[in-house]
Amino acid sequence: MKGRSAGFRDVDLIVAFLKLLRGVRVYPKDHPLVSGGLDVVMGVLQDSLEAGDGMVMAVNKGYIFFNTRRVEVTAENYAFIRFFVQAFDDLGLGEVEVLPGVTRDEVYRFFRVLAASHGGLDGILSHMEREGIRGIIVRPCIQTLGGNVRDRAKKLYFQTLTLIKRYFEDEKAVHLVRIKAVASYLADLLRRSEETLIGLTIIKNYDDYTYNHCLNVAILSLGLALRLGMDKKLLVSLGTGALVHDIGKVRVPIDIVNKPGILTEDEWSVVKRHPVEGLAILLRRWGINRETAKMFPAVLEHHLGINFSGYPEFLQRKAPGFLARIVHIADFYDAVTTPRIYNKSPFSPVEAMDFLMEHTGDRFDPVLVKAFVQMMGPYPVGTVVRLSTGEWAMVVEKPSGMAPLDRPVVAVVADDKGVPLHPRKLDLSDGSVEVVGLSSRSPWEVGLDPTQVALSLSG
């Protein structure tokens, strides 16, 4: 393990963690058992932190990982490993990442938060926000969470919508730590069940468009990045940036946002300032450091395009960064497939994919477009299709597992004569029913509300 102290053994950190957690539950900060435990924990972490690498302690499927390396189970450490795993499970933790520059006092306050926690991971995150702990990040582990994956995905989706709205409307309501944790959680769930979470991007909230849009863009961006093999730390940076990429729109007057007609030149110039305004907001809230610098291009450059046809105009000398190119594709796709007050008939998913492919190499990165098309499949969620039964349906999930890409999960919405039906879920993977045609019209144009259809389905 990189950055290990002289004489350091895995069991040393495990035992130090457990002793300190137990000590802070009983004794004050200056008690020898607490101060001594802090000395041991900081000593074990010292080399990794001084090297600028940080330290990640994770539990997954009953194993402990330090900086992605699995701790070997031996007769000597078995009991301690069991206690450590149990402690993480009881607290709802999957990972604890200690960042370079963390202070001894932050470590102490973090252990106090853990010792006082009774509300699971959400309670820990809220307490960390109140304590201002910035040198430590906690994340859930998807493998430890029970319940139906689709139900969990829905819960995460709407919790994240609320979180984004709070952050956009009140800078003190949500700390960066919480947003990063959500980005990590989204990536974990996508890794396990891509089709379930991407299926939820057909949810379109007309009244809270910006927040809904930011979440959908984050999901699509992370899904694309996972297919490209992006490493975990950069995934979190991408997801965090995508979740707030349109925060600058809070400074666009509402009468411009909701204007039903064509914008004047002056109004359009105000809209085009939102990436710069967003960067200014985040610089004030987060400051500039190695970590935030990775996220900021996703905010500033997500409308630029690789041919510089977009904005901000003053950036039209340098190609947009890799994260911004990913967000640009996801942002375009979700925006044009969502109805707005000035566009009641958005693109159908198929039309949006055709536009992306038509402009690959000029507006959009060709490698990323190819990967995005593969991710979305031949029938992207929201596509209206005709079935071999004669019925009409809307695609609500990509095929799962090893099912062929042309066998998605659909919601049957009308009979063979076009008479509306109460939506029923149908998995086409068994081959008994097939897609025999598709409509180029968006769901709204044929009288469907994708949000209502998606949320009416069970399981």
Confidence of residue 156 (pLDDT cuts 50, 70, 90): confident
Confidence of residue 6 (pLDDT cuts 50, 70, 90): very low
pLDDT tens for 369-424 read 999 999 999 999 999 999 999 999 999 999 987 789 899 999 999 999 989 999 99
Confidence of residue 145 (pLDDT cuts 50, 70, 90): very low
Q: What are phi and psi of 55, to 5 degrees?
A: -145, 130
Give the least confident one: 51-55, 94-98, 199-203, 321-325: 51-55
Mean pLDDT of 327-347: 91
**Can you name the residues that pair with 55 across neighbouring β-strands?**
98
Mean pLDDT of 268-280: 95
The length of the chain in residues reads: 459
Strand order of the β-sheet with 95-98 is 69-70, 63-66, 55-60, 95-98, 136-139
Give the predicted TM-score (pTM) of the model. Answer: 0.78
Give the least confident one: 69-83, 114-128, 145-159, 183-197: 145-159
d(CA 335, CA 210): 10
pLDDT at 325: 97
Q: Residue 11's closest CA among 61, 82, 93?
A: 82
pLDDT tens for 196-229 read 999 999 998 877 889 999 999 999 999 999 999 9
pLDDT at 141: 61
pLDDT tens for 8-29 read 578 888 988 999 999 999 999 9
Question: How far lies 210's CA from each of 169, 249, 295, 332, 454, in Å?
Answer: 12, 8, 19, 13, 20
With a cut of 50, say whether residue 57 has pLDDT above it.
Answer: yes
Average pLDDT score over the chain: 87
Kindly state the tokens that stand for 256.
């411009």
d(CA 428, CA 433): 6
d(CA 55, CA 13): 11
The conformational region for residue 62 under phi > 0 = left, psi -120 to 50 = alpha, else beta, is: left
Mean pLDDT of 131-159: 73
With a cut of 60, say whether residue 1 has pLDDT above it.
Answer: no
Kindly state the tokens that stand for 97.
């990442």
pLDDT tens for 420-435 read 999 999 999 988 999 9
Highest mean pLDDT among 73-87, 131-145, 317-331: 317-331
Confidence of residue 52 (pLDDT cuts 50, 70, 90): low
Mean pLDDT of 100-125: 86
Kindly state the tokens that stand for 198.
């991407």
Confidence of residue 51 (pLDDT cuts 50, 70, 90): low
Domains, the chain, in order of start with CATH, read: 10-144 (no CATH), 187-376 (1.10.3210.10), 384-456 (no CATH)
Over the chain, what HEC string results?
CCCCCCCCCHHHHHHHHHHHHHHHHHCCCCCHHHHHHHHHHHHHHHHHHHCCCCEEEEEECCEEEECCEECCCCCCCHHHHHHHHHHHHHHCCCEEEECCCCCHHHHHHHHHHHHHCCCHHHHHHHHHHHHCCCCEEEECCHHHCCCCHHHHHHHHHHHHHHHHHHHHHCCCCCCHHHHHHHHHHHHHHHHHCHHHHHHHHHCCCCCCHHHHHHHHHHHHHHHHHHHCCCCHHHHHHHHHHHHCCCHHHHHCCHHHHCCCCCCCHHHHHHHCCHHHHHHHHHHHHHCCCHHHHHHHHHHHCCCCCCCCCCCCHHHCCCCCCHHHHHHHHHHHHHHHCCCECCECCCCCHHHHHHHHHHCECCCECHHHHHHHHHHHCCCCCCCEEEECCCCEEEEEECCCCCCCCCCCEEEEEECCCCCEEEEEEEEHHHCCCCEEEECCCCHHHHCCCHHHHHHHCCC
pLDDT at 358: 96
The answer to whether 53 touches 69, Cβ cutoff 8 Å, is no
Q: Residue 256's closest CA among 274, 243, 235, 238?
A: 274
Count the alpha carbons within 13 Å of 351 in the hemisphere toward its beta carbon: 15
